[in-house]
Amino acid sequence: MKRCSLLLALLCTALTAGCSAESVEESPFFVTPDTVIAIPETGGAYEYYVGVTDAPDDMVSISAQSLDPGLAVISFANGGSTITLPAGEEKVLYTATVKCIPQSALYGDHVVDILFSTASRDAEFNGIGEVRQVICRKGHQQPGQPEQPEQPDQPEQPDQPEQPDQPEQPDQPEQPEQPDQPEQPEQPEQPDQPEQPEQPEQPDQPEQPDQPEQPDFGKCQFEISQTSLDVFEGGHASFTVVPAYEPTANILVTLSVSDVTEGELASGSLSFSTSNWRSPQAVEVYAKRDGEADGDQLFDVNFKVVSSDPRYDGCQIDAVSVRSVDTEGKNSLLTGKPYVKIRAMAANITSGNYSAYSPGHGVRIFKAVKPDIVMIQEFNWYRSDESDLSAFKLISEAFDQSYYVHRGNGSIPNGIISRYPIIDSGYWKSNKQNNRDWDWAIVDLPGSKELLVISVHLGTDTNTAEVPSLMNSIKNKVTADSKKKMTYFTMIGGDFNRNYEGNKSLKDYFRTDGSLPEDQSGDSSTNAARKKTLDHLFVDKDFDRKEIPVQIGSRSYPNGHVFDSRVYKRYGELGSVSPVQGDDSGATNMQHMAVIRDFEYYYE
């Protein structure tokens, strides 16, 4: 397969010569099959498979577009015309389903071009185009078409050669030549001419054996995004359901779990109408905490379909298998010791002109510190208001793909990054900020007690007004989860934009009166100019007793550490925090200094 620019892809499809050797190179993007496909105009559909042969260095957006949407439409399994391939993924196939639109005013077959294209910051995967052709075939019952099949019936007329018996009345020898007239029946061979329009369809006929599956309504025509999933105890996960073909009546899908002691659903049913059937609907699955370290447990999500459309009514959907991952015993990150060490970090360390991590200064600090849990602010890679591309790119650059991630909403979102599994995560809407929320995640610690981690970025002028509402959200969360047998320690960190050690509201859940983290010179300030202490990392009183000194290089910081690369440079200690560079913490528009605390947790 060759790679062309998007414009050349269209030209290559139209010209039999294809692209010249100078204009193409091997393409990492493919669409299969690459032959012309014929499908019935009514009730027919066909699936293309789309993927890449190499792992991209950046996210790839793959689009599918019908160049004549009045004749045919195409969509991916998510119901949209675009899907996103994460960076580093290659062994993933996506399906794109094309369907013809019945035409009441047009007769005959119609050819529709389908354009597949890519967009990515990885130049190798950017601007690739592939065009496929679909023939929307009319049924033989359509007006105008029956005339052609009737013509082949005319060859029955050769029975008329009995008329040459009439010439027997005169015995003229010339008349026997009239039997040559039966050659006229050869004229009925002219009906072969109707085969001419079928000639371009002949290559498509080998693909037609797949078509009988499309109208086979003995099978349940639903697309399920996942056939199995893992859910941490106390957490939730989701999959989507969508009908594969347009229904003639509403569809009700009733949901249930096979073991109500292990799992439950956010909703017991899905409803699809003739107008919303194209939109996938989510099924939220919750794994219950049972208070026991009893290992992983299995249960199923079952479906029952009811509709007055006979194609859907009573059809069987295979159950989705769910594994409830035990979070009340030892987890997979333990090394046989009865304790774990946890390095926590509050990090508003973006730089450059766009409040982002792509300039690399903050990335090098993450690599040097090697935190287990990060309460991160301004969670963007290139610039503000990005998609989850930021999470994928930052994790691949600063950590590794084994870390778990929650990224919040807004143009400068908060987030949580954890080496330990994230059981569940979410956010509380800020009562004052519109470009970020208060984000939380429940981290799976070994043993029966977990860790509620909260990442915040309070406003410079609104922080005092935000704290009571934030603390009320924490209180409600703790109270509700305790009823689900979920107990945890609490940790909060981030950019408070104010010194909050003595705040009464914070004292309800966190110890804020202890000694502050410091740098090598004993300075606890955290803003870029090193004049104010704005960033904090607090834990509840029980977890505070588990604090141990932060050890970096030959130095030990008993109350935690404020990381400033300029101080490391001044003390000649950059070698202990490779690959940090001396001016990283003083880079253009560097927000604040990172705050680090270490804990040693002996689990039950």
Query: At residue 371, does pLDDT exceed 80?
Result: yes
pLDDT per position as a tens digit, 576-596? 999 999 999 999 999 999 999
Q: Which CATH code for domain 341-602? A: 3.60.10.10
Q: What are the sequence ranges of the domains in the chain?
A: 2-137, 222-325, 341-602
Query: What share of the chain in percent tops pLDDT 90?
Result: 44
Mean pLDDT of 330-350: 78
Confidence (pLDDT) at 206: 52
Tell me if 511 sits within 8 A of 539, measured CB to CB: yes
pLDDT digits (tens, 9 = 90+) for 548-577: 999 999 999 999 999 999 999 999 999 999
| pLDDT of 336 | 59
User: In angstroms, rounded to a whole number, what is the distance separating the alpha carbons of residues 236 and 229?
Assistant: 10
Mapped onto helix, strand or coil, the DSSP state of residue 431 is coil
Strand order, beta sheet including 29-32: 29-32, 45-52, 94-100, 72-76
Say yes or no to pLDDT of 169 above 50: no
pTM here is 0.59
**CA-CA distances (angstroms) from residue 196 to 149, 190, 202, 382?**
13, 11, 10, 56
Residue 4 banded pLDDT, cuts 50, 70, 90: very low
In terms of phi and psi (left: phi > 0; alpha: psi -120 to 50; beta: otherwise), the region of 549 is beta
Q: What angle do CA 540, 541, 543 make, to 5 degrees?
A: 70
Ranking 40-49, 278-287, 530-539, 581-590 by mean pLDDT, the lowest is 40-49
More confident residue, 44 or 329: 44
Residue 485: its pLDDT value, please?
Answer: 82
- Is the pLDDT confidence value at 107 over 80? no
Indicate the angle between helix axes 389-398 and 361-369, nearest 10 degrees: 50
Determine the pLDDT at residue 331: 54
Q: Of 27-36, 223-232, 501-510, 529-538, give the lowest mean pLDDT range.
A: 501-510
- The phi, psi pair for 542, rounded to 5°, reads -65, -45
For the cut 50, the answer to whether the pLDDT of residue 57 exceeds it is yes
Q: Which comes out higher in pLDDT, residue 143 or 233?
A: 233
pLDDT tens digits, one per residue of 389-438? 667 788 889 998 789 999 999 989 999 999 988 999 999 999 999 999 99
Mean pLDDT calculated for residue range 529-557: 95
Cis peptide before 176 (omega within 30 of 0): no
Q: Could you tell me the two tokens for 264?
A: 């439950």
Sign for the pseudo-dihedral over CA of 371, 377, 379, 381: negative
Taking residue 367's Cβ as centre, other Cβ atoms within 10 Å add up to 16
The type of residue at 155 is P
* Average pLDDT for 38-65: 85
pLDDT score recorded for residue 38: 85
For 459-496, the pLDDT digits (tens) are: 999 988 999 999 999 999 999 998 888 889 999 999 99
CATH homologous superfamily of 2-137 equals Immunoglobulins (2.60.40.10)
- Cα–Cα distance between 198 and 367 in angstroms, integer? 64
Nearest to 560 by CA among 576, 540, 544: 544
Q: What is the mean pLDDT of the chain?
A: 81
Longest dimension (CA), the chain: 133
What is the C-alpha separation between 24 and 41, in angstroms, rounded?
Answer: 35
Give the residue carrying structure tokens 């009893």: 294
Do 37 and 135 touch, CB atoms closer than 8 A?
yes
Decide: 1 and 63 in contact? Cβ < 8 Å: no
Instruction: Write out the two tokens for 347.
Output: 């990090």
Tell me if 596 sits within 8 A of 556, measured CB to CB.
Answer: no
- How far is it, in rounded angstroms, from Cα 593 to Cα 580? 13
Q: 2-137 and 341-602: same fold?
A: no
Task: List residues bridging with 65 in a β-sheet.
Answer: 115
Q: Can you tell me the distance from the alpha carbon of 160 to that of 458, in angstroms, rounded to the nearest whole number?
A: 97
Q: Do residues 309 and 251 touch, judged by C-beta distance below 8 A? A: yes
396 vs 138, residue with greater confidence: 396
Higher pLDDT, 565 or 327: 565
Q: Which of the pair, 88 or 601, is modelled with greater confidence? A: 601
Residue with tokens 């287990």: 372
Beta bridge partners of 536: 494
Tell me which range, 53-57, 226-230, 507-511, is most confidently predicted by mean pLDDT.
226-230
Per-residue confidence (pLDDT) for residue 490, from 0 to 100: 96
As given in the structure block, the two tokens for residue 501 are 């050690």
Residue pLDDT, tens place only, 284-298: 999 988 777 778 899
In whole angstroms, give the CA distance from residue 293 to residue 326: 7
Q: What tens digit of pLDDT does each residue of 244-260 get?
A: 888 999 999 999 999 99
Contact (Cβ atoms closer than 8 angstroms) between residue 148 and residue 124? no
d(CA 320, CA 317): 9
Number of C-beta neighbours around residue 377 at 10 A:
27
- Looking at residue 151, its pLDDT comes to 43
Strand, helix or coil for residue 397: helix
State the pLDDT at residue 161. 45
| Architecture per CATH, 222-325 | Sandwich (2.60)
Query: Quick one: which of 408, 547, 428, 540 has its CA closest to 480?
Result: 428
For a pLDDT cut of 70, what percent of the chain falls above it?
A: 77
State yes or no: pLDDT of 150 exceeds 70. no
Task: Confirm if 516 and 561 have CB atoms less than 8 A apart.
Answer: no
Instruction: Name the more confident of 61 and 148.
Output: 61
Q: Is the predicted pLDDT of residue 148 greater than 70, yes or no?
A: no
Gyration radius from the chain CA atoms: 34
* Cα–Cα dist 76/50, whole Å: 10
What is the per-residue pLDDT across 80-90, written as a single tens digit (0 to 9) for each? 788 888 877 77
- Kindly tell me the burial class for residue 106, based on how many C-beta atoms sit within 10 Å of its own C-beta (0-12, 13-18, 19 or more): middle
Residue 586 CA to residue 594 CA, distance in Å, equals: 12
- Residue 526 and residue 536: Cα distance in Å, rounded? 9
Give me the pLDDT at residue 433, please.
93
Residue 364, token pair as written in the block:
């090098």
Helix (H, G, I), strand (E, B) or coil at 408: coil
Q: How many Å apart are CA 495 and CA 526, to the nearest integer?
A: 9
Q: Which residue has the higher pLDDT, 448 or 398?
A: 398
In the numeric block, which tokens belong to residue 174?
């010339």
Residue-level pLDDT at 337: 66
The average pLDDT across 172-199 equals 51
